[in-house]
């Protein structure tokens, strides 16, 4: 007969949560994109934070660079907008963020449209530039370009045992075929497959789900895990997700041996 053997150890993920978020979430479709605006003219006549809010974005505005943005290159924001005049200071802000390892897209707001200003912004690490004043339609078009570029830079597939989790189109692939994953299922499975055999805590999973495309099943990790295990069986994989007592969930690969 066949005996399923699991690894005996169940270590817990030891702190690379920000790295996990940066690898898993970029390929999950966000429900409400979050924008951080560095703005030194918050009381000016042109209220850029309010313009983004009227366009449906979640906005955090600050008069300067915060430690949050300089923390290890990982951001909870989908876009950083630098609206700092004069332009040379705005470029310095962008350069400082890039040197700190900040990898979120950066949109630099400029008062000048000449080529030298645009080149300086690009050299500082900005992904795109808009020139004030800018209407909602033109601004939305520019944001669409930025987000489309970010989406095209999807991470490589995550592999664990016989399974492969495709980030680009959210599918689970194994020798028995492939099956589509809901955004919340992708987040959970990709996080677990990053380190098979290592427990991912409920808190980590809940945070990933809050930042993913799921709005209807927040906190319903047990249900998501049940559906994932069914799909793992459907594609005849050698993996199974199980609860790790007091530590969250763990993806185990099964070794089949004759007995």
Residues 52 and 89 in one domain: yes
Same domain, 176 and 130: no
The pLDDT value given to residue 249: 92
CATH number at residue 36: 3.40.50.2300
Please give the residue that has the higher pLDDT: either 257 or 168. Answer: 168
Rg of the chain taking only CA atoms, in angstroms: 22
204 against 16, higher pLDDT: 204
CATH number (domain holding residue 13): 1.10.10.10
Q: Is the pTM of this model over 0.75?
A: no
Separation of alpha carbons 32 and 181, rounded Å: 20
- CA distances (Å), 14 to each of 140, 185, 234, 238, in order? 40, 23, 32, 25
Q: Tokens in use for 71? A: 């923390």
Question: Do 129 and 184 fall within a single domain?
Answer: no
Residue 75, pLDDT > 70, answer no
pLDDT score of 9: 44
What's CA 33's distance to the chain center, in Å?
11
Q: Are 132 and 85 in contact (CB under 8 A)?
A: no
For range 212-230, the mean pLDDT: 73
Domain count, the chain: 2
pLDDT digits (tens, 9 = 90+) for 108-129: 988 777 788 888 888 999 999 9
pLDDT, position 228: 93
The average pLDDT across 30-34 equals 64
- Regarding whether 247 and 225 lie in a shared domain, the answer is yes
Residue 254 has a pLDDT of 65
Report the pLDDT value the prediction gives residue 164, as an integer from 0 to 100: 87
The residue segments making up the domain with residue 208 are 2-26+156-258
Q: Which of 152, 177, 195 is at the close of a domain?
A: 152
Asked whether the predicted pLDDT for residue 216 surpasses 60, the reply is: no
Share the mean pLDDT of the chain.
76
The more confident residue out of 192 and 46 is 192
Task: Tell me, yes or no, whether 40 and 77 share the same domain.
Answer: yes
- 106-110 vs 79-83, strand pairing mode: parallel
- What is residue 81's predicted lDDT score, i.e. its pLDDT? 93
Last residue of a domain, one of 105, 133, 152: 152
CA distance 109 to 9: 52
Average pLDDT over residues 103-110: 89
- On whether both 17 and 79 belong to a single domain, the answer is no
d(CA 49, CA 64): 14
Q: What is the mean pLDDT of residues 27-52?
A: 70
139 and 101 inside one domain:
yes
Instruction: Assess whether pLDDT exceeds 60 at residue 215.
Output: no
User: Can you give the pLDDT at residue 29?
Assistant: 43
pLDDT tens for residues 16-27? 544 555 555 544
Which of 152, 176, 209 is where one domain is finished?
A: 152
Encode 95-128: b = buried (16+ Cβ within 10 Å), e = exposed: eebeeeebebbbbbbbebeeeebbebbeebbbbb
Residues 86-96 pLDDT 10s: 777 888 888 98
85 and 22, same structural domain? no
Average pLDDT of span 134-162: 80
User: Residue 100 — pLDDT band, cuts 50, 70, 90?
Assistant: confident
Q: What is the pLDDT of residues 162-198, one digit of tens each?
A: 888 887 667 888 888 889 988 788 888 888 888 788 8
Tell whether the model's pLDDT for residue 73 goes beyond 80.
no
């Amino acid at each position: 007969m066949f005996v399923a053997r699991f690894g005996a150890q169940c270590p817990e993920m030891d702190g690379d949560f920000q790295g996990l978020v940066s690898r898993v979430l970029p390929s999950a479709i966000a429900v409400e994109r979050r924008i951080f605006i560095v703005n030194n003219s918050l009381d000016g006549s042109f209220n850029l934070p309010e313009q983004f809010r009227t366009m449906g974005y979640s906005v955090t505005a600050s008069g300067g660079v915060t430690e949050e943005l300089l923390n290890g290159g990982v951001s909870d924001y989908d876009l950083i907008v630098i609206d700092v005049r004069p332009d040379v200071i705005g470029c310095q802000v962008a350069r400082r963020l890039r040197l700190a390892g900040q990898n979120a897209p950066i949109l630099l707001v400029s008062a000048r449209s000449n080529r030298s200003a645009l080149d300086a912004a690009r050299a500082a690490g900005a992904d795109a530039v808009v020139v004030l004043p800018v209407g909602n339609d033109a601004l939305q078009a520019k944001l669409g370009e930025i987000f489309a570029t970010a989406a095209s830079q999807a991470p490589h597939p995550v592999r664990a045992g016989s399974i492969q989790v495709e980030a680009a189109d959210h599918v689970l692939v194994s020798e028995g075929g492939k099956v589509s994953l809901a955004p919340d299922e992708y987040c959970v499975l990709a996080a677990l497959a990053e380190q098979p055999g290592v427990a991912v805590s409920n808190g980590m999973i809940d945070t990933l789900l809050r930042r993913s495309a799921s709005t209807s099943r927040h906190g319903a990790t047990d249900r998501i895990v049940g559906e994932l295990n069914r799909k793992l069986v459907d594609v005849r994989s050698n993996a199974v997700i199980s609860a790790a007592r007091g530590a969250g969930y763990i993806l185990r690969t099964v070794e089949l041996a004759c007995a």
